[in-house]
Structure 1
Amino acid sequence: MGQACQKCKAFSGKEEFDIKNMNEELGDESPDVEQSFLDEEDEVRKHNRPPSLDNFNKRGMFRKEDTYDQNDGKLSATIENKEISLTEELRGEEMILVDGSKYQGNVVDGKANGKGKLWLNNGDIYEGDIVDNIMQGNGVYYFHRGPIYSGQFIQGKANGIGKEMWPDGSVYEGQFKNGKKHGQGVYKWSQGCSYEGEWFENMIHGQGRYEWSDGRCYNGSWNKNQMNGRGKYQWKEGKYYDGEYEFDKKCGFGIFVWPDGKQYQGYWFDGKQHGKGIMINKEGKKKLGDWADGKLISCNEETNVEIIPEGWIDKI
């Protein structure tokens, strides 16, 4: 079944943002970050890994044991209490396979060719195009315990454009390669989360946008289901982080902006401020500081310093 989206779960707790050593000239209210970032407990939870259709690798080819004419045209099967019946177009010869599976449809030169339906002995069902005993062309594959895949097949595997529908209501639509989500696609979890972007061998990988059901979203770079590289993480109340990530945590340079205009510009490590940083209040007044593991350890009155790396703005 489709996996539960862990990121949909409500966050709890607070991440430490210690700026108490800054004097009052910085502004009236110091930014008290109320779960503004992914806390450590949630950061170790991986982004959802949608299940794969690797089983296609084992179900691409079959052999004939015997054939005979199907006279009554009433062959049918039941999958998860749903009746699947042959259409007139698919009624033809029947082949009993060496593993006990059955095929009915067009047969040419002793092989399944054209339109047909295959009942596998594990309860799965395939209906669609077949070329020389191989699923090839357009078809629908019903997993006995799992999704329904409808789309294109090459050499017995999902290849090209397809749709994967899971019993819990989760749906993927997009590109497949060798039985795996690969290329551009959209996955919508039943809990309300969604991802649209690039995929690599069933993993969120490349550029894409992930949306949570509570209004949060991340748009940027991914590596094997994790935020990794440059990206922008936004909350529905207006605050956002624009910066670098490594393995789902802020790492490198990044800018955090509050709805009232306050900002932190600086460096991060393991999800916390670490290194040089500038706090800017809503009136534009600046304080330069040094941070370690999320704590401010020193600050000074330098106001003309520029900390944003060269070319940073151009990369947005």
Structure 2
Amino acid sequence: MDSFFDCEAAAGQGLAPKPTFRTVEGLYTTLNGLSGRLREAKVKSTFEGFVDPITGHRIGNGHVRWSNGDEFEGEFEGDRPLKGSFISTRHSLKYIGGFDEGGKFSTRKGDTATLIYTDASSYTGEMRSGLYHGFGVLVEESMTYEGEFLNGMRDGVGTLKDIFGRKAYAGQWKVDEKNGEGSSWEYEGSGMVPTSWYSGSWRSSRYWGEGTLSDGNVVFEGDWVAGLRHGEGRETRKLEGNSGKTVREGRWENGREGNGEWILNYADGSQYAGSCENGQPEGRGMLKLSNEDVYTGYFRAGLRHGEGVVVFAAGDSFEGLWRQDQPVGLNIFIGDSPANNKKKQPKQVVGDVTDLTLSEIRLSDEGEEGGEGNMDGERVKGQGEADDQPPYTYDNGDQFFGHIDSKGLRQGRGIYIVKRTGARYEGMFVDNLRDGSGTMTADSSVFTGFFSEDEFLDGTLVVRGLITYKGKFKENEFHDDAGELCDWEGTMYTGAFVNGVKEGMGKITYPDGSVFVGEFKRNRRDGEGTVKKGDDFIYCGCWRNDAKHGHGILNLEEGSYEGTFVNGLYSGFGKLTTKKRSIETNFKFGRFLEGAQAEIKWPDGSFFSGLIDEDGLPKGHGTVRFANGDCYEGDFREGKRHGRGTTVFANGEKFVGFWMNDEMGKGKLTLESGVVHDFD
């Protein structure tokens, strides 16, 4: 039983909203007969037209009507539809165009076809094997796509318009997704002026790569991953009421401002440059106010907190410890002379203060912090000798070198040594706790950075001289959107940590120079990710539990594979390309699937469509079109024509019969002149 209108006429897939595949099926049985009306009782169809009395084939113009209401009117060639009009009441469509050897909707070079559905959607353009293929226009209820298709999916360059005719997207597509360079627009109601737009790189219909997004008040220029700001970028935000704008420039992580170095420009004209966390100054940085005062030092949660120096526009300066934007503890005030840890110079006083404005500084405990001074004409003056503090020894033998206040609490910079373990901390204290910059050495580990309430906050941890982590901490665990971890083999991870494990977007650089960039879960690659070496990518696609899993593209030494992976192996539909051929089919556990439908293309232009064996060779029923124009439909074994089949040669001759290992056997050869030769 031959196939007729076995047209898996995919009327597009993946549009917004995605239409479903519309499959047109039907069978006919060739019966020997005469020209005129031919009834085929087996399928309850009626043919009106010319039937070759010798071959029984329908040729020329004819009309077929099936009992289910489907009908075809058009031209036949060799008992197959060549071109015409097909109407299916079952599938609510009308097709006008050409057909391939298998009876599927298909156009020849330069021709177009039209598909019209009863729901008013339609397609006009090129087709192949029942699928949109080439240039075409697909009209759906709410969207119109005009552009290139490949195997039924939008692939190439195309434009998507909405119901009002407004451009929604224009650019490149891949496997029915926005992929490559393109621009998109969004509108409010039926207005024709876009309220927001994006222009740049895409992947999987999401912003991915370098691009610019604008919604009128906010413009972001920079890097994107999976639709989120991720990488270097610059945000410009207009404030309401014409009150100016803010500019934030730095590295973004998963759609949020990442931790690291930033430049922040505020609406009042002030500017910050330095370390940030969660969108606020955190760590060391420089703040230049609109009045030209400049603060250089440490910040916490956007406020000056820790050691810092203010240089006022008039030239005076203040150096000391800050808490919640206010100076605290032992400080040094300098007029026009440098500071000295031991000797106080003219215009220099040591003492506690109550305000941060130089002209308003007052000494609250004059002389008690190892020196004396006075205020004269609102200028810091005086000189004297500062006393050294002796070490303080605790009952357990621990020692502290530094300042202890009247409440017995360690304050300011000091050194604490644990007698039992030899652990040593040198840095800032607040109310007995490590708080601020410091270095801690314990066992074979060294941490240098910042502490908060006796816990690691931000810094560098080196373990046994082999493993190094740089970044933020939470409850003494790695916790950062942009941390760095280098192991003893030289493998470097940069990216997100949550509660001590890799979680979120990250990048791994391996000792061999290959680089992975993508998503992590519980220390493993999981989600979207790409492996590259130099400028060449090795794998791009989905991961699960540290293995390729889902759709991906893998570059091999001899070619490439694009399709579905399961636990690191080809499994599901995919395309394997080598120098010898390309094959699209279903795989299972890294091997070809016996009996699967496949399409094979060879470099010389030959093409096969049919069933294959576990080695990926044609086996069973299939069709092959050779580069010289010959076409064979029939049985195969081990990649060769073997069994019953029909061959139409490029010179017009036709052989119907049996083949054995690619050699013609018993059958009939019909010459172009109509003469028939029998082969026994």
Higher strand share: 2
Q: Give the match's secondary structure for 2:506.
A: strand
Question: What is residue 27 of structure 2 aligned with on the other side?
Answer: none
For the residues of structure 1 that align with 2:488 and 2:555, how far apart are their CA atoms? 30
Q: How does 1:48-127 map to 2 (within 5 A)?
A: 68-70=424-426, 91-96=437-442, 100-112=444-456, 114-121=457-464, 123-127=466-470
Give the one of 229, 232, 237 matched to 2:572. 229
Are 1:220 and 2:563 an aligned pair?
yes
Structure 2 counterpart of 1:243: 585
Q: How does 1:120-139 map to 2 (within 5 A)?
A: 120-121=463-464, 123-137=466-480, 138-139=482-483
Aligned residue pair count: 218
Check conservation: 1:136, 1:155, Cα contact below 8 A: yes
Q: CA deviation at 1:302?
A: 7.4
Q: Of the candidates 262, 266, 280, which is equivalent to residue 625 of structure 2? A: 280
Q: CA deviation at 1:154?
A: 0.5
The equivalences for 1:261-300 within 5 A come to 261-271=605-615, 272-282=617-627, 284-294=629-639, 296-300=641-645
The one-letter code of the counterpart of 2:609 is Q
- Counterpart of 1:166? 510
Q: Which amino acid aligns with 2:474?
A: V
2:489 aligned counterpart, secondary structure = coil
Distance in 1, matches of 2:534 and 2:575, equals 24
> Which ranges in structure 1 are unaligned for 5 or more consecutive residues?
1-63, 72-89, 304-316
After superposition, the Cα gap between the structure-2 partners of 1:91 and 1:142, relative to the gap in structure 1 and judged at 3 Å, is: farther
Task: Provide the TM-score with structure 1 as the length reference.
Answer: 0.61
**Is the contact made by 1:67 and 1:93 (CA closer than 8 Å) also made in structure 2?**
no
Which of the two has greater helix per residue?
A: 1
Kept in 1: contact 2:634–2:646 (CA 8 A) = no
1:197 paired with 2:554, answer no
The percent identity for this pair of structures is 24
Root mean square deviation of aligned Cα: 3.0
1:22-70 CA deviation, whole Å, 9 max, x = no partner? xxxxxxxxxxxxxxxxxxxxxxxxxxxxxxxxxxxxxxxxxx9775433
TM-score by length of 2: 0.30
Mapped contact 1:192–1:213 kept (Cα < 8 A)? no
Cα offset for 1:236? Answer: 6.0
Does the aligned pair in 2 maintain the 1:278–1:287 contact within 8 Å? yes
Q: Which has the higher contact order (CA 8 A, sep 6+)?
A: 1
Q: Give the distance between the partners of 1:242 and 1:177, measured in 2 at CA.
A: 32
Report Cα offsets for 1:66-125 as digits up to 9, x if no partner: 754337xxxxxxxxxxxxxxxxxx95141515xx3232322233322x212111126111
Query: In the aligned structure 2, how far is the partner of 1:211 from the partner of 1:180?
Result: 22
- For 1:131 and 1:105, locate their aligned partners in 2 and report how far apart those are by CA, in whole Å: 14
Structure 2 segments unaligned to the other structure (5+ residues):
1-417, 428-435, 649-680
Conserved? CA contact 2:554–2:561, under 8 Å: yes
Mapped partners of 1:161, 1:253: distance in 2: 38
Counterpart CA distance in 1 for 2:451 and 2:607 is 70
Paired with 2:640 and 2:512, the residues of 1 have a C-alpha distance of 44
CA distance in structure 2 between the partners assigned to 1:282 and 1:168 by the alignment: 43
SS at match of 1:261: coil
Larger of the two Rg values belongs to structure: 2
1:157 deviation in Å?
A: 0.9
